[in-house]
Amino acid sequence: MASQVMSVAEVEAQLRRHQEKELLRLVVVGSVDDGKSTLIGRLLHDTNGVYDDQLSAVKRASTQAGMEIDFSLFTDGLKAEREQGITIDVAYRYFSTERRKFIIADTPGHIQYTRNMATGASTANVGLILIDARLGVLQQSRRHAYIASLLGIPHLAVAVNKMDLVDWNQDVFQRICDDFRKFAAQLDFKDVTFVPVSALKGDNIVERSERAPWYEGPSILGYLETVPIAADRNLQDFRYPVQYVIRPHLNYRGFAAEIASGKVSKGDPILVLPSRQRTRVASIDTYEGSVESASAPLSVTLTLTDEVDVSRGDMLVHPDSVPSVNNRFEATLVWMHQKPLDPQKSYLLKQTTQLQRVEIEQIVSRTNLDTLQAEPCETLELNDIGTVRVRANRPLFFDPYRQNRRTGAFILIDSLGNGTVAAGVILASSSGAGARGQAAPGQHSMVSPRERQERLGQRGMVVLLSGLPGAGKTELAYAAERLLYDRGHVALVVDAGDRPGGAAAPTEPAQPSEAVLDLCRRAADAGLIVLLAFAAPSAVGRTLGQTAIGSDRWLEIAVNAPLERRRAAASDFYARHSTPLYEPPAAPAATVDLGAHSSEAAARLIVDLLEQRGVFSPR
Amino acid sequence: MGAAVTDRVPNTPVAAGAPRAPLDLQSRLSHLRQLESESIHIIREVAAEFENPVMMYSIGKDSSVMARLALKAFHPAKPPFPFLHIDTTWKFREMIEFRNWFAQENGLELIVHTNQEGLRENINPFDHGSQKYTHIMKTQALLQALSKGGFDAAFGGARRDEERSRAKERIYSFRDRYGQWDPKNQRPELWNLYNGKLQKHENIRVFPLSNWTELDIWLYIHLENIPIVPLYFAKERPVVKRDGAWIMVDDDRIPLEPGEKPVLKSVRFRTLGCYPLTGADLSTAVTLPEIIGEMLATRHSERSGRLIDHDEDASMEAKKREGYF
Ligand SMILES: Nc1nc2c(ncn2[C@@H]2O[C@H](COP(=O)(O)OP(=O)(O)O)[C@@H](O)[C@H]2O)c(=O)[nH]1
């Protein structure tokens, strides 16, 4: 193995170039016989991605088939496995040039295409779709593009293959480009590039070919080496899903994670989710020493200036860019398992470093993969794609997948068999405006929660004052509203309109309806502190309320008063009901007894509680 | 090659350098930094979600990289799991020396396991053939050690580019209680979201280096100044030619054919295992840049030096199903 002699300086220079390469992940898709194996084999072969011993094995096999080199054989090994019934979702291939290292996700299997392609696409920077020049844009091609877009691949390249069989006819190529462009306009790619190629002959694969003088773009490899991917990373929103707590001794507590997005610097203010405690970055530690700042996707360790309680599954963020905190959201699922979705069952959900139990509240629709239209359905089966509403036990910290491929993605796990049954991308919070379908541009609020918070000096909150009729809930609500106003805050009282002496005398202790909860949510979205004075007698009903609003902005206060006081205040009601139905809150944030305290004193307690929860911004 | 360059080579392991100056994490992210971060993520994820992980330590270059990544993942703490070496008793002597130094230098908990039964029966590659020998002294030994330690996750340093059947291997590879791999029962892996839920009696093998290539490994060793066994560097060593491969005569246990005489050749190893089964490459590369230079020029896959893979077609696949890494 004598090497071609290179000088040390030459080697060192080459080394530096290799050490500074970028990494690009590519998923290659095509229908059977479009030439996918041939194209990948070409790329590997022509970039020295195959070794001599592999090459001679392929040459031997090719000669048997009467060819010089059958490039498709470099990536076989999957064909045999398919015959043995082995499920392979993706095979990975590697090659590199001096500019970039490439990881190709090669997704075989025709029956399970959706599942396989979704797997390969989940991490891809670039999707490469093959189209047979003779056949043009088929239903399949559209489907592939749709899945690529769903999984958030930013850049798409379309290789129009077998150009040698259509005499390198420019019109054929142009027609395919036009067809495809029309369709792709509905999808979400940053850019779509078309390359006329012959994988078999090697035209426009590595080198530009002279056979298409009318084509001015790059070869496939030229494109792959230059398509700009650095800007695709979300470097705006700092998301740090804590993975592991490092405690070598009592004086060090480091929080280890892979930065999911954004950038962090020493001294940055930090908001801890879900506790909403505030602190600062004391240091960013690595094996090589501390650094001033770090950005996604590096794995680092943070220490904080305060002794805050942080564990795996929590998320550290910047207070001025907070993700959605909600346990309900709408998502698109790719179903990956033989057993169809069972809405009666609970599943495990893994998102960032959180693992928790979820239910599928509703199956909204399934995408017909031929028409790409949504249609109603009962369930989702293997390789189906559909939209669902998910409810988790605890709030998740997420961003819509469109904005953040790390915090907007999840997998579902069968809680009995433990298999991975679905991949999901989050569309939006379920209770959020425009949850039914994505809001069109301009139809959602242009004011961010952070801006509201800055203007109002508070964040939105719903305080449920729950208690029996006549306990004094509404009186307390107005007392709290006055006190908040006096301190420069903005509140809104929402009650059942069933106050004694009010228009309608109560017949039942009132439960806030969906419409009432919707109003509260909107008010809280707008940054108001809602004082919701409702009997809210059932525990399930209160949980529903908490879920609709989001538990991080929901506070339950139990309001009590002695029977005499209640009777006096709601005599009509108590004349008819001796023991009204009421399940007292199991774990209210506070219990106030309006027999023992004045409304004003109770209101002060509530405002203090809000203060402790960090509802008011320091000014 | 001048002495100035050779000085940097860890001829004795202790000569290995400390990590270089702190990285500029701001700079454009190189593929090595990205691979590093992804591997650290996997190692931390397993440490967080499994009860009793262990890291396989085979002393080779991949193990050296994997161990460095584990040290990085939990710094300033030590990795929260032990390291396991399956000692067939046929490793190169320099490997064992390096292993002991490495564990001590880094304060790692090292478990060394040998199949005692196999040892008693004197199972060796010469009398029993490489297949049977590998099965008893490696595969069996590994399963013994895993079950003895009650480990539910074992990190391995395998890469997908090593040979074809690994291309489709997942990062989390599920095994039944006999350590067997059921290719029909592997889970899809999306994003960086790994499903670590185990059935009773299941355990997993985890391959944090899956996406690294041989070139990446060498570049990283160079970049990070990671100590490796001196056998990777060319030096005059006594070798004999067997089945077209240069086999090093590391001790007198290797039976010489009548008339066969070890010759001194300048050789190095691209991959390290049991010395009677590991072919050497003729080479004069004594520094990392020279090795990488040879790598960039060479056209042989690294496993061509491993006799064990030539036994049967798709042999890795068969071995893996039995529980070999
Ligand atoms: N004429 C011509 N034939 C091609 C080209 N690319 C692939 N083929 C042939 O098309 C057939 C299918 O190719 P293959 O790579 O196996 O397709 P796959 O099923 O997409 O992997 C094989 O017979 C190839 O030789 C091309 O550019 N021109």
Predicted confidence at residue A437, as pLDDT, reads: 36
Instruction: List the single range of A181-190, A247-256, A373-382, A440-449 with lowest mean pLDDT.
Output: A440-449
Instruction: State the burial class of residue A441 (Cβ atoms within 10 Å of its Cβ: 0-12, 13-18, 19+).
Output: exposed
Asked if B294 and A1 come within 8 Å (Cβ–Cβ), the reply is yes
Asked if B199 and A418 come within 8 Å (Cβ–Cβ), the reply is yes
Distance from CA of B310 to the nearest CA of A (A): 12
Q: Taking Cα atoms as reference points, which of B40, B121, B24, B34 lies closest to residue B73?
A: B40
Predicted confidence at residue B13, as pLDDT, reads: 36
Task: Please report how the helices A8-19 and B214-224 are oriented relative to each other, as an axis angle in degrees rounded to 10.
Answer: 100
The mean pLDDT value for B21-38 works out to 70
Residue-wise pLDDT tens digits, A496-534: 875 444 445 556 778 888 889 889 988 998 899 999 999
- Measured in angstroms, how far is the CA atom of residue A207 from the centroid of ligand 1? 19
Q: Quote ipTM for the complex.
A: 0.86
Identity of the residue in A4, A118, A417 whose CB atom sits nearest the CB atom of B190 = A118
d(CA A548, CA A328): 8
Task: Say what percent of chain A tops pLDDT 90.
Answer: 56
Give the strand pairing for A315-317 and A269-273: antiparallel
d(CA A576, CA A322): 49
- In a mutational test of the B interface, the residue from A15, A290, A414, A425 whose CB has the highest number of chain B CBs within 10 Å is A15
Cα A543 from chain centroid (whole Å): 25
- Measured in angstroms, how far is the CA atom of residue B55 from the centroid of ligand 1? 43
Q: Give the three-state DSSP class for B318.
A: helix
Say whether pLDDT at A261 is over 90: yes
Cα A17 from chain centroid (whole Å): 35
A40 ligand 1 Cβ < 6 A: no
Confidence band, pLDDT 50/70/90 cuts, at residue A546: confident
Which two structure tokens, joined as six digits, stand for A615?
A: 């509802």
**Does residue A213 have a cis bond before it (omega within 30 degrees)?**
no
Predicted confidence at residue A49, as pLDDT, reads: 66
Q: Tokens 């919701």 label which residue?
A: A532
Identity of the residue in B5, B26, B191 whose CB atom sits nearest the CB atom of A123 = B191
Asked if B188 and A423 come within 8 Å (Cβ–Cβ), the reply is yes
d(CA A284, CA A290): 5
Count the helix, strand and coil residues of chain A and give each as a percent rounded to the nearest 5: 30, 30, 45
Which residues of chain A have a CB within 8 Å of the CB of B31? 21-23, 96, 100-101
Say whether pLDDT at B320 is over 80: no
Nearest-atom index, ligand 1, CA of A31: 20
Please write down the HEC assignment for all residues of B242-275: ECCEEEECCCCCCCCCCCCCCEEEEEECCCCCEH
DSSP assigned state of A616: B
Nearest-atom index, ligand 1, CA of A30: 20
Identity of the residue in A81, A85, A420 whose CB atom sits nearest the CB atom of B187 = A420
- Measured in angstroms, how far is the CA atom of residue A372 from the centroid of ligand 1? 28
Say whether pLDDT at B312 is over 60: no
The mean pLDDT value for A21-27 works out to 95
The mean pLDDT value for A446-467 works out to 84
Asked if B223 and A18 come within 8 Å (Cβ–Cβ), the reply is no
Residue-wise pLDDT tens digits, A274-285: 999 999 999 999
Predicted confidence at residue A442, as pLDDT, reads: 38
Identity of the residue in B40, B165, B216 whose CB atom sits nearest the CB atom of A299 = B40
Q: What residue's CA is closest to ligand 1, atom 19? A: A33
Which chain A residue has the Cα nearest residue B210?
Answer: A92
Question: A91 or B94, which is more confident?
Answer: B94
Predicted confidence at residue B313, as pLDDT, reads: 40
A38 ligand 1 Cβ < 6 A: yes
A to B CB pairs, distance under 8 Å? 221
Residue-wise pLDDT tens digits, A561-606: 888 888 888 877 777 766 667 888 888 889 999 888 899 999 999 9
The mean pLDDT value for B18-28 works out to 40
Which chain A residue has the Cα nearest residue B39?
Answer: A299
The mean pLDDT value for A540-546 works out to 81
pTM: 0.77
A131, A141 contact by CB (below 8 A): yes
Question: B11 or B135, which is more confident?
Answer: B135
d(CA B179, CA B145): 11
Residue-wise pLDDT tens digits, A384-402: 999 999 999 899 999 999 9
Q: What residue's CA is closest to ligand 1, atom 2? A: A162
Q: Taking Cα atoms as reference points, which of A471, A466, A468 lies closest to residue A569?
A: A471
Asked if A248 and B298 come within 8 Å (Cβ–Cβ), the reply is no
Distance from CA of A589 to the nearest CA of B (A): 32
Say whether pLDDT at B153 is over 90: yes
- In a mutational test of the A interface, the residue from B7, B25, B152 whose CB has the highest number of chain A CBs within 10 Å is B25
d(CA A192, CA A131): 14
